[in-house]
């Protein structure tokens, strides 16, 4: 069921011109509108990523369908999309929202951490899972995440402890499937996190377990769920093309070991210990 937006908070940085809103469940969401500055298919990609990342057990922002109705849009004129001197209105309807993992009025979220803090992130290993995902779905963008302080037992195998520390949550999946082009290409450098220290534990393909097995053994029914669970409004007649794309994704699982090995040929090999 979609959640209605109840308050507009602010415009976010970034190419899609997303907006933070509060929804009826009291949580904050970063909303990408169907009329965003990138492409309608960005919403489809974000939705698919949410389903696949949940299967892989990689922490990501919870996806929700957010209703921006006429009344809300009229009361919040900041909610529009600007390209050059042209303003595109956001149409009332269902848009994509990714839940902000903490209350942003009380806790700080960071887009980047300096290396000294990055190396202490409790779930640093999740960057290896994210790389399996990014190669599989051909994320044409680099890996993006947000960092915040949380109880580390929710994000790592740490034994029962109430210790808090920095954790990473993966987000921004608008450019999986090669972005709006919906192409699964082999480009070794894409999907990498810009700070390669997150890959220092990689010693071989085994370092990418359990995610490699989880992706390889994904049930076909999960891929079916992707197309069936999102609003038809986002697809605009793209269903046949989406089905073709998902068939490609199904076949591509077998090539994951090769796609990962190929990254060792990237200039400045991101895996110094492999
Ligand atoms: N679920 C979330 N929780 C917290 N912050 C978020 C969330 N989603 C997005 N953000 C914040 O909003 C910003 C914009 O989001 P995102 O990167 O997804 O948008 P974009 O327009 O695709 O950006 P880009 O220019 O990278 O393509 C991010 O840099 C991040 O700070
Ligand atoms: Mg981004």
CA of residue 12 to ligand 1 center, whole Å: 7
Length in residues, the chain: 274
Please choose from 82, 146, 179 the residue to mutate so as to test ligand 1's pocket, defined by most ligand atoms within 8 A of CB.
Answer: 146
Query: What are the residues whose beta carbons fall under 8 Å from the beta carbon of 47, sequence distance 6 or more?
Result: 63, 96, 226, 229, 230, 234
Range 254-270 average pLDDT: 94
> What is the per-residue pLDDT across 200-226, written as a single tens digit (0 to 9) for each?
999 999 999 999 999 999 999 999 999
- The burial of 41, by beta-carbon neighbours within 10 Å (0-12 exposed, 13-18 middle, 19 or more buried), is given as buried
Choose the residue to mutate in 30, 39, 104 for probing ligand 1, maximizing ligand atoms within 8 Å of C-beta: 30
Rounded CA-CA distance 208/193 in Å is 15
Any ligand 1 atom below 6 A from CB of 16: yes
Distance, in Å, from the CA atom of 221 to the CA atom of 51, rounded to the nearest integer, reads 12
Ligand nearest to the CA of 13: 1
Report in angstroms the alpha-carbon separations of 3 from 25, 36, 63, 198: 7, 19, 11, 35
Query: Is 271 inside any structural domain?
Result: no
Residue 212 falls within a domain, yes or no? yes
Please compute the mean of the pLDDT values over residues 34-47 and round it to a whole number.
96
Asked if residue 224 has its Cβ within 6 Å of ligand 1, the reply is no
Per-residue pLDDT band for 153 (boundaries 50, 70, 90) equals: confident
Q: How many whole angstroms from 75 Cα to the centroid of ligand 1? A: 24
- The Å distance, Cα 34 to ligand 2 centre, comes to 16
Q: Give the tokens for residue 267.
A: 């200039």
Ligand nearest to the CA of 17: 1
Domain annotation covers residue 272: no
- pLDDT value of residue 6: 98
Nearest to 21 by CA among 95, 108, 112: 95
| 110 alpha-carbon distance from chain centroid | 16
Classify residue 29: in a domain, yes or no.
Answer: yes
Instruction: Please work out, in degrees rounded to the nearest 5, the angle formed at the alpha carbon of residue 177 by the alpha carbons of 61 and 181.
Output: 125
Residues 212 and 256: beta-carbon distance below 8 Å: yes
Distance from the alpha carbon of residue 136 to the mean position of ligand 1, in angstroms? 21
**267 has pLDDT over 90:** no
Which ligand ends up closest to the CA of 36? 1
pLDDT at residue number 1: 84
- Choosing from 10, 62, 172 the residue with most ligand 1 atoms within 8 A of its CB, the one to mutate for a pocket test is 172
- CA torsion through residues 58, 16, 138, 228, sign: positive
Q: Is residue 274 part of a domain?
A: no
Q: Using CA atoms of 129, 131, 133, 137 in order, give the dihedral in degrees to the nearest 10.
A: 180
Does residue 256 form part of some domain?
yes
DSSP-derived letter for residue 204 is S
CB 30 within 8 A of CB 97: yes
Terminal Cα-to-Cα distance of the chain (whole angstroms): 46
> Per residue in 65-99, pLDDT tens?
999 999 999 999 999 998 888 898 999 999 999 99
Tell whether 273 is covered by a domain: no
The number of domains in the chain is 1
State the pTM of this model: 0.97
Atom of ligand 1 nearest to the CA of 172: 18
DSSP single-letter state for residue 205:
G
> 270 lies in a domain?
no
Mean of the per-residue pLDDT values for the chain?
Answer: 95
Of the ligands numbered here, which is closest to the C-alpha atom of 98? 1
**Which of 19-23, 52-56, 162-166, 175-179 is least confident?**
162-166
Please give the residue range of the domain that contains residue 56: 3-265
CB 218 within 8 A of CB 55: yes
**Which residue owns the Cα nearest ligand 1 atom 31?**
111
pLDDT tens digits, 250-261: 999 999 999 999
């Amino acid at each position: 069921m979609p959640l209605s937006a109840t308050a507009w908070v602010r415009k976010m940085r970034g190419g899609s011109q997303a907006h933070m809103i509060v929804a009826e469940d009291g949580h904050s969401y970063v909303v990408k509108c169907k009329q965003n500055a990138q492409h309608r298919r960005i919403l489809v990609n974000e939705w698919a990523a949410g389903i696949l990342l949940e299967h892989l057990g990689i922490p990501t922002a919870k996806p929700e369908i957010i209703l921006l109705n006429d009344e809300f849009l009229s009361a919040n004129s900041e909610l529009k999309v600007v390209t050059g001197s042209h303003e595109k209105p956001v149409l009332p309807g269902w848009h994509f929202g990714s839940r902000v993992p903490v209350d942003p009025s009380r806790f700080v979220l960071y887009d980047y951490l300096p290396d000294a803090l990055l190396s202490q992130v409790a779930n640093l290993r999740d960057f290896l899972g994210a790389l399996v995902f990014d190669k599989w779905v051909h994320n044409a963008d680099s890996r993006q995440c947000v960092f915040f302080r949380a109880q580390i037992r929710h994000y790592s195998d740490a034994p029962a402890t109430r210790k808090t520390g920095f954790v990473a949550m993966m987000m921004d999946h608008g450019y999986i499937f090669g972005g709006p082009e919906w192409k699964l290409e082999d480009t070794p450098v894409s999907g990498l996190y810009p700070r390669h220290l997150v890959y220092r534990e990689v010693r071989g393909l085994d370092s990418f377990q359990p995610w490699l097995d989880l992706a390889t053994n994904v049930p076909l029914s999960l891929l079916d769920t992707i197309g069936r669970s999102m609003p038809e409004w986002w697809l605009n007649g793209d269903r046949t093309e989406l089905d073709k794309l998902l068939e490609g994704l199904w076949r591509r699982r077998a090539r994951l070991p090769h796609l990962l090995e190929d990254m060792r040929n990237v200039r400045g090999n991101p895996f110094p210990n492999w």
